[in-house]
């Protein structure tokens, strides 16, 4: 297709894309080390019973000290590429969603490209916390349909153990580490429904790093005698407020997503919400009146809350276990710090 010039000068050439896109392959990676509630409770005044009752979390995984966000992203991406039958050099764009790559700049995605042996792809990170992966799927879908990419690798990866204070009672038991990845490419049928996404910046401070990096600077550049050592700006959360927002605001978003896709709840094979808290998942299932036959992701029990990684980790595990059918319909929704959210119905790879 060629654009008509407005001014009479040379016309621009722009690409045409395929009508549809879908997820061709998905993969997950969980670090080896299992961290029990008992281990978490060595540093906070809590109990295994309280953690299980309030969050549904039994255990989570922590990456090894020298295991990086890029290492975990690589493992998950290799699995997703294998399932898709797509080679790394076919990837045009890498979108890596994370809030725990410990560099403000550069992004992690170009390093992942090198690791995978991808051929000079566009590569950048997305900062949308627990909604990052679903934002990435939306962007990949649009890129492919617009003709600006053929295959896009979308990764959600977190090493939240680096950004969580083990002595913070409000977060220490929640977060875990891991990675999930999906290969998105052209399709003969609609494989990714309309994305419903939004943000509520009024509640920006509800899940937030304790300090800005720049707040640390005076103490580091000009240390004063007797002054406290600057603390690592770990993530803090006003749990109850976020809980209420998730329960009351995210079920309507999920319902709008089902409607936007032109389907009914009974058409779904799977519901894969962000794995924040089992009670949030239960409340959403109830509010959506999901029929019993819809398989619900409950990965939070053994993986904890892995933010951007939680949706693809849960979905890949359910597929591997045979709990949900290849080619079936899944509603996925991510929500978290920002506050931001994104949801879409996808055809399972």
Interaction between residue 55 and ligand UT7 (CB under 6 A): yes
**Interacting residue with ligand UT7 among 97, 140, 197, 242 (CB under 6 A):** 242
Q: Please name the residue that has the structure tokens 């898709």.
A: 84
Given 37, 75, 274, 277, the catalytic residue:
274
Structure tokens at 320: 């591997």
What is each CA distance from 265 to 5, 112, 347, in whole angstroms? 46, 37, 14
Q: Rounded to an integer, what distance in angstroms lies between the CA atom of residue 94 and that of residue 110?
A: 8
Q: Taking the complex as a whole, how short is the minimal distance between the CB of residue 166 and ligand UT7, in angstroms?
A: 12
Q: Please name the residue that has the structure tokens 């998905």.
A: 26
Q: Taking the complex as a whole, how short is the minimal distance between the CB of residue 51 and ligand UT7, in angstroms?
A: 7
Interaction between residue 173 and ligand UT7 (CB under 6 A): yes
CB 308 within 8 A of CB 332: no
Residue 282: phi and psi, rounded to 5, are -60, -45
Please, which residue, 207 or 315, has the CB nearer to ligand UT7? Answer: 207
**274 in catalytic set:** yes
**277 in catalytic set:** no
Q: How many residues are present in the chain? A: 349
Q: Taking the complex as a whole, how short is the minimal distance between the CB of residue 23 and ligand UT7, in angstroms?
A: 22
Binding mask 260-279 for ligand UT7 (x = CB under 6 A): ----------------xx--
Q: Quick one: 221 exposed, middle or buried, by C-beta within 10 A (0-12, 13-18, 19+)?
A: exposed
Closest alpha carbon to 348 in 318, 321, 326, 324: 326
**305 in catalytic set:** yes
Please, which residue, 193 or 338, has the CB nearer to ligand UT7? Answer: 338
Please, which residue, 59 or 74, has the CB nearer to ligand UT7? Answer: 59
Q: Rounded to an integer, what distance in angstroms lies between the CA atom of residue 278 and that of residue 285?
A: 11
Binding mask 99-118 for ligand UT7 (x = CB under 6 A): --------------------
Q: Rounded to an integer, what distance in angstroms lies between the CA atom of residue 118 and that of residue 114?
A: 6
Interaction between residue 164 and ligand UT7 (CB under 6 A): no
Given 37, 130, 141, 277, the catalytic residue:
130
Q: Rounded to an integer, what distance in angstroms lies between the CA atom of residue 312 and that of residue 308?
A: 8
**Interacting residue with ligand UT7 among 246, 268, 290, 319 (CB under 6 A):** 246
CB 36 within 8 A of CB 43: no
Q: Taking the complex as a whole, how short is the minimal distance between the CB of residue 181 and ligand UT7, in angstroms?
A: 19
Interaction between residue 50 and ligand UT7 (CB under 6 A): yes
Interaction between residue 169 and ligand UT7 (CB under 6 A): yes
Q: Quick one: 112 exposed, middle or buried, by C-beta within 10 A (0-12, 13-18, 19+)?
A: buried
How many chain residues interact with ligand UT7 (CB under 6 A)?
22
Residue positions annotated with a catalytic role: 130, 274, 305
User: Could you list the residues that contact ligand UT7 (CB under 6 A)?
Assistant: 44, 46, 50, 54-55, 130, 169-170, 173-174, 207, 239-240, 242-243, 246, 276-277, 280, 305, 307, 336
């Amino acid at each position: 297709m060629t654009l008509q010039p407005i001014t009479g000068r040379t016309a621009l050439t722009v690409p045409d894309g395929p009508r549809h896109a879908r997820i061709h392959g998905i993969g997950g990676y969980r670090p080896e080390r299992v961290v029990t509630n008992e281990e978490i409770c060595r540093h906070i005044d809590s109990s295994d019973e309280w953690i299980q009752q309030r969050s549904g979390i039994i255990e989570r995984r922590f990456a090894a000290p020298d295991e990086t966000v890029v290492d975990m992203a690589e493992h998950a991406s290799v699995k997703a590429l294998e399932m898709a039958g797509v080679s790394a050099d076919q990837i045009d764009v890498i979108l890596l969603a994370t809030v725990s790559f410990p560099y403000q700049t550069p992004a992690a995605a170009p390093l992942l490209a090198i690791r995978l042996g991808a051929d000079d792809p566009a590569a950048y990170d997305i900062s949308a916390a627990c909604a990052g992966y679903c934002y990435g799927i939306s962007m990949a879908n649009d890129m492919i349909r617009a003709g600006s990419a053929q295959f896009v690798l979308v990764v959600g990866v977190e090493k939240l153990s680096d950004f969580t204070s083990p002595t913070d009672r409000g977060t220490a038991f929640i977060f875990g580490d891991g990675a999930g990845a999906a290969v998105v490419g052209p399709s003969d049928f609609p494989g990714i429904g309309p994305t419903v996404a939004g943000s509520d910046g009024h509640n920006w401070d509800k899940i937030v790093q304790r300090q800005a990096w720049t707040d640390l600077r005076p103490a580091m550049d000009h240390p004063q005698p007797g002054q406290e050592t600057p603390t690592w700006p770990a993530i803090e959360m006003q749990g109850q407020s976020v809980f209420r927002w998730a329960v009351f605001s995210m079920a309507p978003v999920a319902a709008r997503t089902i409607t936007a896709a032109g389907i009914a709840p009974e058409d779904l094979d799977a519901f894969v919400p962000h794995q924040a808290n089992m009670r949030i998942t239960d409340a959403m299932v109830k509010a959506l009146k999901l029929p019993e036959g819809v398989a619900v992701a409950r990965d939070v029990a053994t993986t904890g809350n892995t933010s951007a990684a939680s949706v693809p980790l849960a979905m890949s595990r359910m597929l591997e276990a045979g709990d949900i059918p290849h080619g079936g319909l899944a509603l996925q929704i991510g929500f978290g710090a920002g506050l931001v959210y994104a949801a879409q119905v996808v055809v399972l790879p």
